[in-house]
Structure 1
Amino acid sequence: MRVEHIGWNQLPAQARAAVEDRVRAPYEKAEMTTGESSGVATLLFLPDGAKIFVKGLPVEHERAAELEKEAKVNPYLPDYAPKLLWQVEAGGWRLLGFEGVTATPWADFTPTGNHLEPVATVLRELSTRPAPDVGLMTAWDRWGPYCDPAAEPLLTGQCLLHTDPAATNFLIGDRTWLADWAWAARGPGWIDAALWGFRLVLDGRQTPEQAGQWASTVPALADAPREGVRALAEAEARSWEDWRQYGVTGIEPTVEAARLWADFWG
């Protein structure tokens, strides 16, 4: 689940030196505070105006494998995903350096926000994109444990999925970016739009009815089998309820939003 953050200067000296070897220029830095899956998340500003976003985890961390998956899929991602520039392992840390972008810290998902259509445009394109053959997990791998086994065909498909369309992962500037592909997967093309609906309820404080209207502007979701969307939404809600049972704190709004979205499809 959530990962404890440290500041850039708290990284081991060997790790910072390995990054500086790659950057080869003096830099200013800004700590990023919105991510929940990185031990360090820092934007570096170079003298030529370029920016590099650095994220990473200790190599022994239980979620370190997510960085390897994100690095593996990056060359196959669409152009609205920031490109991976390099990766290093030093000082007990694995660090990925991505092209930095100029954008809002996160998207506005509120009912009157002007970011909804740009985000929907990205999700429409993504819903048609085939998944690369790089060993991605499947939607069934992710949500199957919370589903009736008979639902497996409904959650099987060959499209590329992001699976975490949270407001913090959409960066809006001169264009719309979709970042943090650590949970990329393979499955039906409607899944990201369905998960976006849940995030509109959580991040945008929309009603499920409002969220459903926006999510359904993605044709893949509008045409999806209702029983498939129902199975996914219920599985997502159950997964968050499980995390609460495990004692994870601070997730009550997430649990409530996921349940509201699941009940809307029930």
Structure 2
Amino acid sequence: MTTSRIPYADLPDTARRAVEAHTGPVLKVESETEGFNSSIAARLTSPTGTYYVKGLRADHRRVWTQAREAEVNPYVRGIAPALIARVESDGWDLLLFEAVDGHHADYRPGSPDLPKVVATLRRLAEIPCPPIPLRHAEQRLARYAARPENLAQFAGDALLHTDWHNTNVLVTDQRARLVDWAWATKGAPWLDAGYWALWLIAFGHDPASAEEWASHVPTWQAASAEGINAFAVANANMWDEIGEGDPDPWTARMVGAARTWRDYRTV
């Protein structure tokens, strides 16, 4: 479910003043159109620099995602924009980040962004899972696994991002950086490469090509065929549920990609 977006100027004055206590007076606001989960998403320019602010009302049912991002950020600053401040003011929960100048990752076959994403996946795999409360992958996938015994394949001690939508990967001349850590999870180290593979299929790779790219990530090589099969089935079941009814074109594409991967792995 998407969240309605409002302009930064529509925040209460007290909330904007609380943000600007960290940025200085805002001279320019550029609203962001991408993303689904924030009511506020904007790029702010002030005399002290450029920032990115995102947020939700404090009573929003997914406001817990704000806390999750704030908790994770100190541990992932090498591969994610640094959090400047978390601002809770006048009924709003806002996160203020350093701004990153880059483009959303291009996942299509032949894209020069793909090796940079691989490098980021490798770096993420080297970061120990932080001592913060995270959901476990086997919990998140419990409703979708074909058999309960498959869930053990997803368990592990790695820090995972799990949401590899291409808009969550900002590519600069030097590297790819990950944003939106709301769905950070603890699980088997190879799962992030698997989540990325599914997105590659959605962007035009066949399953063999997607898995070939995933194989450039050392953690993927430790996955068993049984585990990958179970993961592909669980994702197909999950996206079938998300796409029930009349899915939008983006969701329909993910449903099709998940089914394609499942069939490749299991038929």
The total of aligned residue pairs comes to 263
CA contact (8 A) 2:24 2:46 kept: no
Question: TM-score when scaled to structure 1?
Answer: 0.93
- Deviation at residue 248 of structure 1 after TM alignment: 5.5
- Deviation at residue 182 of structure 1 after TM alignment: 0.8
Q: 1:234 & 1:35 partners in 2: Cα distance?
A: 26
Q: 1:246 & 1:181 partners in 2: Cα distance?
A: 28
**RMSD of aligned Cα (Å):** 1.7
- Deviation at residue 220 of structure 1 after TM alignment: 1.2
Aligned residue number for residue 6 of structure 1 = 6
- Deviation at residue 222 of structure 1 after TM alignment: 2.5
CA contact (8 A) 1:86 1:96 kept: yes
Deviation by residue 1:57-107 (Cα, 9 ceiling, x = unmatched): 111111111111111111122411111110112232110001111111x01
Aligned residue number for residue 138 of structure 2 = 140
Q: 1:26 & 1:65 partners in 2: Cα distance?
A: 27
Q: Secondary structure at the match of 1:30?
A: strand
Amino acid in the other structure paired with 1:46: S
CA contact (8 A) 1:126 1:189 kept: no
Q: How does 1:219-258 map to 2 (within 5 A)?
A: 219-245=218-244, 249-250=248-249, 251-258=251-258
Aligned residue number for residue 215 of structure 2 = 216
Bigger drift between 136-145 and 111-120 goes to 136-145
Q: 1:231 & 1:78 partners in 2: Cα distance?
A: 32
- Deviation at residue 17 of structure 1 after TM alignment: 2.4
Aligned residue number for residue 121 of structure 1 = 119
CA contact (8 A) 1:197 1:261 kept: no
- Deviation at residue 128 of structure 1 after TM alignment: 3.5
Aligned residue number for residue 201 of structure 1 = 201
The partner residue of 2:107 within 109, 113, 117 is: 109
CA contact (8 A) 2:130 2:159 kept: yes
**Identity among equivalent pairs (%):** 37
Deviation by residue 1:107-137 (Cα, 9 ceiling, x = unmatched): 1111111000010111122224321110111
- Deviation at residue 22 of structure 1 after TM alignment: 2.5
Aligned residue number for residue 192 of structure 2 = 192
CA contact (8 A) 2:39 2:54 kept: yes
Bigger drift between 238-247 and 87-96 goes to 238-247
Amino acid in the other structure paired with 2:229: R
Q: 1:237 & 1:36 partners in 2: Cα distance?
A: 21
- Deviation at residue 10 of structure 1 after TM alignment: 2.5
Amino acid in the other structure paired with 2:106: D
- Deviation at residue 37 of structure 1 after TM alignment: 1.5
Residue ranges of structure 2 left out of the alignment (5+ in a row): none
Q: 1:60 & 1:213 partners in 2: Cα distance?
A: 44
- Deviation at residue 2 of structure 1 after TM alignment: 2.1
Amino acid in the other structure paired with 2:128: P
Q: How does 1:150-189 map to 2 (within 5 A)?
A: 150-173=149-172, 174-189=174-189
Aligned residue number for residue 20 of structure 1 = 20
Question: TM-score when scaled to structure 2?
Answer: 0.92
Q: 1:230 & 1:44 partners in 2: Cα distance?
A: 44
Q: Secondary structure at the match of 1:261?
A: helix
Q: 2:58 & 2:263 partners in 1: Cα distance?
A: 39
CA contact (8 A) 1:128 1:189 kept: no
CA contact (8 A) 1:195 1:233 kept: no
Q: 2:96 & 2:3 partners in 1: Cα distance?
A: 19
Q: How does 1:29-108 map to 2 (within 5 A)?
A: 29-48=29-48, 50-104=49-103, 106-108=104-106
Q: 2:70 & 2:115 partners in 1: Cα distance?
A: 29
